[in-house]
Amino acid sequence: MTGAAFGRPVSYAGGWTFIEESDRQSSSVLLHYTPTYQWSIGPRIEANRDQNFTVSSVQPTWLAKRWFGEDYQGNLYFFGGAGIASGINGNSLNNRFAAYGGVMADWETRSLFASYRARYLDAAHFGNQFMQAARVGFAPYEGDTGDLHTWLMVEIDHRPSDPDSVTATPLVRFFKGPLLVEAGYNITVNQPLFNFTYRF
Amino acid sequence: MSLFTKIAALVTVVCVAHPLSAQEHHDHSTHTAHDMHEHHDHQEAEVANASHDGHAATSEAILTRTEDIESALAEGGEPIVADVLGVVCDFCAVAMNKIFGKREEVAAIYVDLDTKALSLVLVPGASLSDETIAELAVQAGYRIAEVRRGDAALGQNA
């Protein structure tokens, strides 16, 4: 299940961001608004393709700490969400209240990247799920402002409730101006990954 | 094929697929004005290397001269360069552009990821205090380490 946006979940004051994420288990879209640089909020819809339910929620994200350096930036975020879980694709279970919460942390320079995220979802009779994922990556070249930036990354995710609890996804991140696109392939369970972020 | 072998194979394929990009962006630590011109040619930017003007080279970032910035300088606006902490990606540049670009005092702006500096030229007669610049950077999500103005921003200090 998608955690909540590896592509900077809080923007600049007054900024909007659209984030789509699709991994081996779920697809989601989030549109968030950032009132101040410390937090964002917006509607999020997530479809769990494995277990045939959706979670329609409102998700606030809090930038708890940002570390600044001349050559690096680190971030610690906490996020949560509350909404309604509904069955799809013939799943006739009744709608239920659902909530989730999690943490994200990242550290990056212009050529190195590392991140971690974890989330726990309580979707009532649709199921409770925990996931965590870590990434490392590097940029084969350092692009300047407005250039196409390319990153090569590997994500390892852990979902204890899945039969394949630990999987690996190599991916490529392309970054240009306000647009970030990630494409990868989970080589453990043969599922694609596609993420898209647009900031405006 | 083992998991490690699959990952190694994929990384190798992607690395090989980007040799031109890597070549175009090599050795950022030794930028010359020519390098920088190539680097910014998509927006006709050019760095005013201090040594070009006959002044001593400095390790401090100086104004990045895009077309907009040259135009604003020609109008007589004050040049300002601010060293920004934490600027590592284009989202950072977008944020700074959005926040500073809204200010009526600002005639031209450019965020240079290579020098990690914000270049501003003000509207003639306008002023923007160091404190305001720092506060605007905070709104964008970043921090200002130092601000230089006038000749210092142009790299023309003795």
pLDDT > 70 fraction of chain B, expressed in percent and rounded: 62
Q: How far is CA A114 from CA A14, A75, A101, B101, B152, in A?
A: 27, 11, 21, 31, 37
Crossing angle for the helix pair B130-140 and B90-101, to the nearest 10 degrees = 130
Total number of domains constituting chain A = 1
B74 — contact with chain A (CB < 8 Å)?
no
Whole-model pTM: value is: 0.80
A86 within a domain of the structure (yes/no): yes
Tell me the pLDDT tens digit for each residue of A158-168.
999 999 999 99
pLDDT of B5: 52
For B36, the 3-state DSSP assignment is helix
A10 within a domain of the structure (yes/no): no
Give the whole-angstrom CA distance, residue B132 versus residue A200: 23
Instruction: Encode burial over A119-149: b for 16+ CB neighbours within 10 A, e otherwise.
Output: bebbbbebeebebbbebebebbbbbbbbbeb
pLDDT of A9: 87
In this structure, what token pair is assigned to residue A85?
């879980």
Contact A15 B95 (CB under 8 A): yes
Neighbours of B42 (CB within 10 A): 11
Q: Is the pLDDT of residue B18 over 50?
A: no
B90 — contact with chain A (CB < 8 Å)?
yes
Boundaries of domain holding A104: 15-199
Q: Which residue of B has its CA nearest to A71?
A: B86
Mean pLDDT, residues B38-47 taken together: 38
**CATH no. for B27-154:** 3.30.70.100
Residue A177: list chain B partners with CB under 8 A: 90, 94
pLDDT of B17: 43
CATH code (residue A113): 2.40.160.40
Tell me the pLDDT tens digit for each residue of A53-100.
999 999 999 999 999 888 899 999 999 999 999 999 989 899 999 999
> How far does B8 lie from chain A, in Å, by closest CA?
9
A7 within a domain of the structure (yes/no): no
Question: From the list B7, B42, B140, which residue is nearest A170 (CB)?
Answer: B7
Longest dimension (CA), chain A: 54
